């Protein structure tokens, strides 16, 4: 067992719940009856350790160093078996697979009738969950059994199974095609963010529109519609078409309103759908609807069973981002920074399981929250975690605006002694990643002039920048930066000498009165 695998068993033990550990001890005690139970001693040694320490493990478990790799491999497998046994009655897919395994045992014993009965129940359950891949596997197994269990109705049965296999294969091909489109669009979003020019828009439209238009949701299954709505949502999101983005995010969530019994089985898709709906509501500044969706999601969440670690992670990410965004819309930054401790606690506990994209996003949102609350050094600290990422092309949109916000926060914090040097670095980075557009150029040009501007001329420079940037708020491509950084509100706050929180709160109150 290599180093990664050794770390894997330690991570697996650390990730077990109290119930899983208790069940493992009972399972292991039975498995180890009349045998040398060294794998249990290894489990006890690993359990409770914060960091892996091989010397401590060897000493505490009494296992020889040369035995350790094999013992870890054995323990790893035993833990997975025990957890599977604990969850098999609660997770539909696991139960279906177990029934297929039981059918194989019956088949090998030439108990064909009982094998077919078991497969029939498994197929019924697979179709109920709309898991067509498993259903097709079962149908293929049924054909295999039927070929050895001939009777007078064998011809009719063979035709029925053949038709069923063909129908399932078409469904699966559709799902594969749609899920591929969805993944490609999501990947494009991580690399590109929003389209930045007419050229970008044409490239995205030419490649994806004809593929998406080839699908019609009439007569589609739950899974086919799920991936179709997800793909169309990402397509609209990347192209700045938030009206269509909202429509498909709403349809995506609506699938689970139609079939709430599938939420537990496909909780990851459900949470992702809610998260995207909340995101587009934030982009379109629909505050009241956002709050409603958050409240509904929090009511539904405890009903999902089992409450797995992955469900806790994805749902917490969804709620934290949504609640932070609500504070952005309200301008309630002082209340919003109270969420920072929850974010830090969450990342401390689950950070290893949260991918870099979400860690960056949370860091950026917290930085913006501190900026809005006038805590510029704390803002800069969170931005630094993004700026220090070695890959400049990963979420380059976030990396660019993290650097620009860091420049503004440095200026606000009075740390402008190295501003010219920082501006040169940021300018070089923006050019390097090919993200120099009008808004970025105007902001950097403004910051370049600041060290050479007299105090009496400073307000005039702010007004000039405001007048240059304001028209870009409604520009189809140049408005993208305003989703990352509310530079207009910051400029208004500087010009009027009013805290940025108060500026945003006024806008929020005016929007509510206008409804």
Tell me: the pLDDT tens digits for 393-429?
A: 677 778 888 888 898 898 888 876 677 777 888 888 8
Q: How far apart are CA 14 and CA 7, in angstroms?
A: 11
* Average pLDDT over every residue of 302-330: 92
461 lies in a domain?
yes
Helix axes 154-192, 222-238, angle to 10 degrees: 20
pLDDT of amino acid 450:
75
470 lies in a domain?
yes
Tens digits of residue pLDDT in 253-298: 999 999 998 998 899 999 999 999 999 999 888 999 999 999 999 9
Residue for token pair 């979420």: 395
Range name among 57-61, 101-105, 244-248, 497-501 with the lowest pLDDT average: 57-61
Evaluate if residue 1 carries a pLDDT over 80.
no
Task: Share the mean pLDDT of the chain.
Answer: 86
445 lies in a domain?
yes
Q: How far are the Cα atoms of 10, 71, 391 from residue 44, in angstroms, in the given order?
A: 11, 13, 39
Q: Reply yes or no: is the peptide bond before residue 389 cis, omega within 30 of 0.
A: no
The share of the chain scoring above pLDDT 70, in percent, equals 94
187 lies in a domain?
no
Q: Last residue of some domain: 87, 109, 141?
A: 87
124 lies in a domain?
no
342 lies in a domain?
no
73 lies in a domain?
yes
Q: How far apart are CA 276 and CA 284, in angstroms?
A: 12
Give the residue numbers spanning the domain of 493.
372-515
245 lies in a domain?
no
Q: How far apart are CA 220 and CA 247, in angstroms?
A: 18
Give me the long-range contacts of 409-418 (CB less than 8 A, separation at least 24).
Answer: 409/367, 409/371, 409/376, 409/377, 409/379, 409/380, 409/383, 410/376, 410/380, 411/447, 411/450, 412/371, 412/374, 412/376, 413/376, 413/377, 413/380, 416/450, 416/451
pLDDT of amino acid 244:
94
- How many domains does the chain fold into? 2
Q: Give the length of the chain.
A: 515
Q: Last residue of some domain: 61, 87, 113?
A: 87
Residue 82 neighbours by CB under 8 Å, 6+ apart: 20, 23, 24, 27, 28
| Greater pLDDT, 215 or 38 | 215
Evaluate if residue 40 carries a pLDDT over 80.
yes
Q: What is this structure's pTM?
A: 0.82
Q: How confident is residue 32, by pLDDT bands cut at 50, 70 and 90? A: low
Q: Last residue of some domain: 47, 66, 87?
A: 87
């Amino acid at each position: 067992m290599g180093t990664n695998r050794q770390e894997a068993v330690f991570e697996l033990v650390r990730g077990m719940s109290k119930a899983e550990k208790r069940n493992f001890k009972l399972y292991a005690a039975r498995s180890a009856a009349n045998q040398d139970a060294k794998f249990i001693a290894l489990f006890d040694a690993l359990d409770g350790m914060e960091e892996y320490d091989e010397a401590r493990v060897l000493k505490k478990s009494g296992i020889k160093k040369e035995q350790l790799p094999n013992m870890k491999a054995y323990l790893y497998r035993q833990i997975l078996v025990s957890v599977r046994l604990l969850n098999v009655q609660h997770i539909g897919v696991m139960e279906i697979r177990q029934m297929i395994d039981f059918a194989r045992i019956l088949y090998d014993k030439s108990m064909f009738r009982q094998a077919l009965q078991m497969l029939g129940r498994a197929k019924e359950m697979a179709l109920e969950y709309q898991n067509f891949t498993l259903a097709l596997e079962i149908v293929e197994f049924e054909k295999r059994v039927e070929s050895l269990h001939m009777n007078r109705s064998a011809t009719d049965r063979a035709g029925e199974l053949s038709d069923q296999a063909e129908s399932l294969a078409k469904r699966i091909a559709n799902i594969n095609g749609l899920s591929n489109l969805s993944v490609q669009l999501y990947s494009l979003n991580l690399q590109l963010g929003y389209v930045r020019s007419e050229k970008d828009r044409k490239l995205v439209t030419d490649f994806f529109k004809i593929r998406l238009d080839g699908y019609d949701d009439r007569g589609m299954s739950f899974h086919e519609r799920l991936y179709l709505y997800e793909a169309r949502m990402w397509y609209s999101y990347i192209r700045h078409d938030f009206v269509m983005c909202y429509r498909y995010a709403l349809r995506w969530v609506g699938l689970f309103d139609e079939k709430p019994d599938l939420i537990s089985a496909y909780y990851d898709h459900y949470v992702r759908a809610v998260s995207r709906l909340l995101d587009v509501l934030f982009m379109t500044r629909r505050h009241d609807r956002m709050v409603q969706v958050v409240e509904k999601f929090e009511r539904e969440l405890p009903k999902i069973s089992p409450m797995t670690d992955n469900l806790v992670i994805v749902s917490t990410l969804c709620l934290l981002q949504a609640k932070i965004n609500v504070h952005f819309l309200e301008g309630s930054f002082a209340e919003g920074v109270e969420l920072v401790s929850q974010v830090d606690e969450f990342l401390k506990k689950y950070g290893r399981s949260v991918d870099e994209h979400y860690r960056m996003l949370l860091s950026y949102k917290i930085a913006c929250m501190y900026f809005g609350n006038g805590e510029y050094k704390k803002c800069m600290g969170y931005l630094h975690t993004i700026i220090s990422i070695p890959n400049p092309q990963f979420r380059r949109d976030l990396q660019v605006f993290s650097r620009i916000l860091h420049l503004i926060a440095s200026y606000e914090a009075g740390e402008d002694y190295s501003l010219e040097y920082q501006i040169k670095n940021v300018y070089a980075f923006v050019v390097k990643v090919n993200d120099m557009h009008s808004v970025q150029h105007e902001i950097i040009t403004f910051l370049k002039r600041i060290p050479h501007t007299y105090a009496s001329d400073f307000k005039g420079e702010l007004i000039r920048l405001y007048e240059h940037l304001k028209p870009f708020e409604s520009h189809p491509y140049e408005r993208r930066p305003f989703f990352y950084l509310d530079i207009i509100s910051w400029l208004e706050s500087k010009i009027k000498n009013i805290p940025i929180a108060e500026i945003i709160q006024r806008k929020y109150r005016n929007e509510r009165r206008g409804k």
